[in-house]
């Protein structure tokens, strides 16, 4: 061991800690551990005479030591002026003690109850938000709200035409997937032609609306949350409010209306492309486009189509309100933006699946 190795030796009788060596070394002793055997909250003397060089790590340790033994005092012997000054600067503003947070429940049962309560709160909050959106929308549609035409048009553009590319890709592929799924079974019975039925009914009733909704939740719902929460942090929403404009009417309503107006159109588009995707696969199995078309004609009923559109409408409301709610309730920093988008997507996907199941059960019971 060279003379320069940093060392911390506790000298018990005087309650003093003697440091020596070059404290800029890669590893330095842990002062907290060095005094561990002795009762805390006892005054302590630290002798720095033997320290040849040091950096902030030593000062940091000294500050930590001082806070650890407080209210007892820490005495420094042989400290250089810089060292002392640095420590004084660190001490000049007293340590801020955050108020006791309500403790996270440790017990599993409590945790479960807490998360259930949270879920309930979220649901209630969503309902309240939905109610506020509905009244504000009604007011805006009657022409008395603070909604601006311009906002609505730009929101429509973002939620509609801008989404066509990605919807094209997903729906053609989903149509093909549905066709492959059926093809394997149907071909065994020489009933390949019924692929058309499977694809058409599957797209119109279920997959067209659901896939579009999932894409729009990730795309538009998340964008709504991100935009609104950024505006929150920027104090834009405060400014809107103090300008006497209801942020609900000004920001939320155009976004919700835009998605509600665009989703059914996107779903019709997705249905058509999905059926087209099915035709490609059917073609590979020897079904001619003409056969496919005529089979479609007998398979498709307006019921399927209308159910798909109803779903599109419901999903649009769910996605838009979940996105806007996450944004409007967000905190005021950049971490909050991330949380808001995650929250928006997760909530919408859950709501989507639950709503889809509910609508299917309802249709089943009503015999459609």
Partner 1 sequence: MSVGDAVISVKDMTMAYGRRVIQRDLTFEVQRGDIFVIMGGSGCGKSSLLKHLLGLLSPASGDIYYGEQSFTRASTLERDRLRQRWGITYQSGGLISAMTLAQNVALPLEQYSDFDARTIRDIVALKLALVGLDGYQTYMPSEISGGMRKRAALARAIALDPDILFFDEPSAGLDPISSRRLDDLILQIKESTGATVVMVTHELPSIFAIANNSIYLDAGTQRLIDRGNPAWLREHSENAVVRQFLNRAGDAHE
| Contacting residues toward partner 1, per CB under 8 A | 89, 92, 94, 98-99, 146, 151, 154, 230-231, 233-236, 238-245
Task: Kindly give the pairing relationship between strand 7-11 and strand 16-22.
Answer: antiparallel
- 33/150 with CB nearer partner 1: 150
Burial of 251 (0-12, 13-18, 19+ CB in 10 A): buried
Query: Which contacts (CB < 8 Å, 24+ apart) does range 270-273 have?
Result: 270/167, 270/170, 270/171, 270/203, 270/208, 270/209, 270/211, 270/212, 271/171, 271/203, 271/204, 271/208, 271/305, 271/308, 273/167, 273/168, 273/171, 273/172, 273/175
Shortest distance (Å) from residue 244 CB to partner 1: 4
Sheet holding 74-77, edge to edge: 7-11, 16-22, 44-53, 74-77
**Closest to 247 in 3D by CA, of 124, 151, 343:** 151
**Closest to 54 in 3D by CA, of 110, 113, 105, 8:** 8
Shortest distance (Å) from residue 269 CB to partner 1: 27
How is residue 38 written in tokens? 């002795």
- 30/121 with CB nearer partner 1: 121
Shortest distance (Å) from residue 235 CB to partner 1: 4
E strand or H helix that includes residue 45: strand 44-53
Specify whether the CB–CB gap between 273 and 172 falls below 8 A: yes
Shortest distance (Å) from residue 332 CB to partner 1: 9
Shortest distance (Å) from residue 148 CB to partner 1: 9
- 32/89 with CB nearer partner 1: 89
- 282/330 with CB nearer partner 1: 330
- 228/326 with CB nearer partner 1: 228
C-alpha span between 252 and 237 (Å, rounded): 11
Q: What's the distance, CA 143 to chain centroid? A: 34
Query: Which DSSP string corresponds to 123-137?
Result: HHHHHHHHHHHHHHH
Shortest distance (Å) from residue 150 CB to partner 1: 9
- 244/367 with CB nearer partner 1: 244
Task: Kindly give the pairing relationship between strand 16-22 and strand 74-77.
Answer: unpaired
Shortest distance (Å) from residue 248 CB to partner 1: 12
E strand or H helix that includes residue 19: strand 16-22
- 38/157 with CB nearer partner 1: 157
Task: Kindly give the pairing relationship between strand 74-77 and strand 44-53.
Answer: parallel
Shortest distance (Å) from residue 99 CB to partner 1: 5
- 55/235 with CB nearer partner 1: 235
Shortest distance (Å) from residue 117 CB to partner 1: 17
- 74/228 with CB nearer partner 1: 228
Indicate the SS3 state at residue 200.
helix
């Amino acid at each position: 061991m060279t003379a320069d190795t940093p060392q911390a030796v506790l000298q018990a009788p005087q309650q003093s800690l003697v440091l020596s060596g070059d404290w800029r070394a890669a590893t330095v002793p842990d002062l907290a551990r060095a005094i561990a055997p002795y009762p805390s909250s006892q005054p302590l003397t630290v002798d720095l005479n033997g320290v040849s060089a040091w950096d902030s790590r030593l000062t940091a340790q000294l500050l930590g030591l001082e806070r650890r033994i407080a209210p007892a005092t820490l005495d420094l012997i042989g400290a250089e002026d810089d060292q002392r000054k640095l420590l004084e600067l660190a001490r000049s503003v007293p340590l801020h003690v955050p108020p006791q947070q309500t403790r996270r429940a440790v017990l599993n049962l409590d945790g479960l109850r807490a998360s259930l309560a949270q879920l309930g709160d979220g649901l209630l909050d969503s309902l309240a938000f939905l109610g506020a959106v509905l009244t504000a929308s009604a007011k805006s549609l009657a022409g008395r709200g603070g909604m601006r035409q311009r906002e609505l048009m730009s929101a429509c553009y973002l939620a509609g035409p801008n989404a066509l590319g990605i919807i094209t890709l997903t729906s053609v592929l989903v149509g093909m997937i549905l066709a492959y799924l059926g093809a394997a079974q149907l071909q065994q019975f020489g009933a390949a032609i019924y692929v058309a039925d499977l694809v058409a009914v599957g797209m119109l009733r279920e997959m067209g609306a659901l896939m579009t909704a999932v894409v729009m939740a990730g795309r538009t719902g998340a964008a709504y949350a991100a935009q609104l929460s950024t505006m929150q942090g920027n104090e834009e929403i405060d400014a809107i409010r103090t300008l006497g404009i209801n942020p609900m009417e000004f920001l939320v309503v155009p976004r919700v209306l835009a998605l509600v107006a665009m989703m059914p159109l996107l779903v019709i588009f997705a249905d058509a492309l999905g059926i087209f995707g099915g035709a490609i696969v059917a073609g590979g199995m020897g079904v001619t486009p003409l056969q496919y078309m005529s089979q479609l004609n007998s398979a498709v009923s307006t019921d399927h189509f209308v159910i798909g559109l109803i779903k599109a409408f419901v999903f649009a409301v769910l996605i838009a309100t979940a996105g806007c709610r996450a944004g409007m309730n967000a905190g005021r920093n950049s971490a909050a933006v991330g949380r808001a988008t995650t929250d928006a997507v997760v909530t919408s996907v859950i709501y989507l699946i639950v709503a889809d199941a509910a609508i299917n059960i309802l249709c089943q019971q009503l015999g459609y």
